[in-house]
Amino acid sequence: MVWLLVLKSLIIFLSQLLLNVSAQNGRCPPYSDCGFLGRIRFPFTTTEQQHCGLLAIHGCQRLPPSSRKTIKLGTSTSSSYSVLKVEPSTIFISDDEQQRYLENRSCKAFSNNVTLPHTSPLASFLNKNGITIFRCNQSLKPSLSKDFYKYSNCSEYEIFYGPPNTLTPPGFQWPSSLAPCSTVQLSVDGSSTDDPFLFVISTSVIEVQLSNECERCLGDGKGRCLLDTEGKFYCATGSRSWVTKMVLGLASAVTVILLIAMVKIYYTRRKKQNPTNQRIEVFLKKHGALQTKRYGYSEIKKVTNCFRNKLGQGGFGSVYKGKLQDGRYVAVKILNELKDDGEEFINEVASISRTSHINIVTLLGFCCDGFKRALIYEFMCNGSLEKLICQENALITHHQLDYQMLYHIAIGVARGLEYLHKGCNTRILHFDIKPHNILLDENFNPKISDFGLAKICSRKESMVSIFGARGTAGYIAPEVFSRNFGVVSHKSDVYSYGMMILEMIGGKKNTITGLDPSSEIYFPDWIYNRIESKQELGLQNMRNISDEKLVRKMAIVGLWCIQTHPSARPAISKVLEMLESKVELLQIPPKPVLSSPSTSPIHLSSETL
């Protein structure tokens, strides 16, 4: 492996030389024109020449010159700010979103942190009109001096603040009683008052303070402040002959070509020897021409625009938004490399490629290219059911998602499960039914997704054999993790479905802990006791008797589905029949033996209802 160390050293050496050559070739002009901002100089530059400065302004070349110019501070994913004015070492920026929050007196204004770039050997950055806001739990009672103000009109927290940062003396330390609070850096105009909306503003003045080394480097007008490959400062000066530049260029090109060739040889050998890839390729050859298209990894990168728009991440990998050549938007799941023996990938492709149903997500393509594995699904613009039922006051914020809509979603998921259990040539057991795996389209039609744990079996099989428990805690049927409760079958999906619709009724975050911790009770127990005693349910956001009947019906069906023994649960077709019948005709099931598990996803405070 000595050759790898030698090659690495050579590449580092050449990279350093190329940095000097690039700096000394005069590729950075003394200034750049930026529309109405005029001529800008180091430390500012344009996004077309980011290497020529520390802060790059976007839109300098855009016409007309008066068009909006923007800049990003901090990470590449941070918010964009409008640039109002540029001075030699100072930039004036405005946050349009923050302005709307302030005009509406929204407490979201105290979450819009002004994040500055990290200090480097080249420069540090200062918000000249900044203030530190402390967001504290409402139960916290900090001990503060009279210089501090308290604002209590935010529903989720209280905020505390002292004088602006520029008015705090050198060496000032914030009170230790504020340590449990989170901090936010905002911009202000004037001194602090008891109403933060009167002095917090959306405009920030950011000063770039160059290091002494960088100031000296720029002093004669010939040097450029740069960082080497180890992140250390150096001043690029002088010039090199065209012969030196040519030699460096050729040497670099040869090194890169050799490196690519070595990596390709190593990667190809490893790919051929990897048992996971061999297993997947055997599966794909065995199933012949699948209905879904196979993509190369380079095509996946094009579809996702080099993975720019990330939708989410989980234990399986990451999901990105993409666009096919025909204009359709898709969700691309990139599976973690070497996460397993390929079982999840095989399960997804084998299961969904056999399905075609309005309540099953459509698999549009897949990728198996070396160690890269990806699945391409139709894009669901309303995300997962979990995101909606987990949000505080979701039924109010999303007016479409009332109890009638939740009932519509429950019916759709049941029809999807019925199709998997009875409508295919083979029976497909999902084993991971939960709100996170239910996606909603633009009309809130539900679609079952994520078949990584699915099991394909014959329609005649009344039970299946699996090794170990599979699923998500809180939704796993008792027989899946202990065979003492019965055999694993399609009734295991019914249990998960029952837990899901009970969660839809109660809301995953519908928990309020009172002074007495024992006041928190398990939601299925609570709903069962109410229904059995024929009490009013009294859940939040229930508007009329029609809502009451829908919720009662869904609750009774959910309680039937979570019966401890599989034989006591209805098949999913019977579940559909119960959901579509009148609530007065439904019989109340026996109370499930298992209750109040420690891993339960649904709890409800007795003080809430």
- Detail the residues annotated as belonging to a binding site: 333
The C-alpha atoms of residue 184 and residue 165 are separated, in whole angstroms, by 12
For every residue of 9-46, DSSP letters joined together read: HHHHHHHHHHHHHHHHTT-S-S-EE-GGG-EE-TTEEE
Residue 507: both structure tokens together: 């809301």
CA 544 to chain centre: 36
Residue 97: both structure tokens together: 């979103």
Query: What is the torsion angle, in degrees rounded to the nearest 10, for the CA atoms of residue 149, residue 153, residue 155 and residue 159?
Result: -10
Query: What is the torsion angle, in degrees rounded to the nearest 10, for the CA atoms of residue 286, residue 287, residue 288 and residue 289?
Result: -160
How many residues are listed for the chain in this entry? 609
Cβ atoms within 10 Å, residue 196: 23
- H or E element in which residue 90 lies: strand 90-94
**Would strands 293-295 and 363-369 be described as parallel, antiparallel, or unpaired?**
parallel
The C-alpha atoms of residue 462 and residue 491 are separated, in whole angstroms, by 10
Cα dist from 542 to 403, 529, 539, whole Å: 8, 19, 6
Annotated active-site residue 525? The verdict is no
The C-alpha atoms of residue 441 and residue 288 are separated, in whole angstroms, by 31
The C-alpha atoms of residue 421 and residue 393 are separated, in whole angstroms, by 34
| Residues whose CB is less than 8 angstroms from the CB of residue 548 and which lie 6 or more positions away in sequence, other chains included | 536, 537, 542
Q: Would you say 91 and 71 are in contact if contact means Cβ atoms under 8 Å apart?
A: yes
DSSP state of 98: H
Exposure string of 465-496, with b = 16+ CB inside 10 Å and e = fewer, is eeeeebbbebbbbbbbeeeebbebbbbbbbbb
DSSP-H helix ranges across 199-325? 212-219, 242-273, 275-286, 297-303
DSSP state of 369: E
The C-alpha atoms of residue 77 and residue 472 are separated, in whole angstroms, by 31
**Catalytic choice (95, 432, 493, 547):** 432
The C-alpha atoms of residue 261 and residue 554 are separated, in whole angstroms, by 61
Which residues pair with residue 228 across a beta bridge? none
Q: Would you say 587 and 462 are in contact if contact means Cβ atoms under 8 Å apart?
A: no
For every residue of 444-466, DSSP letters joined together read: --EEE---TT-EEE-TT-S----
- Positions at the binding site for ATP: 333
Residue 324: both structure tokens together: 């096919």
90-94 sheet: strands from edge to edge: 44-46, 55-58, 70-72, 80-86, 90-94, 203-210, 123-127
Q: Would you say 81 and 71 are in contact if contact means Cβ atoms under 8 Å apart?
A: yes
Question: Which positions are annotated as active-site residues?
Answer: 432
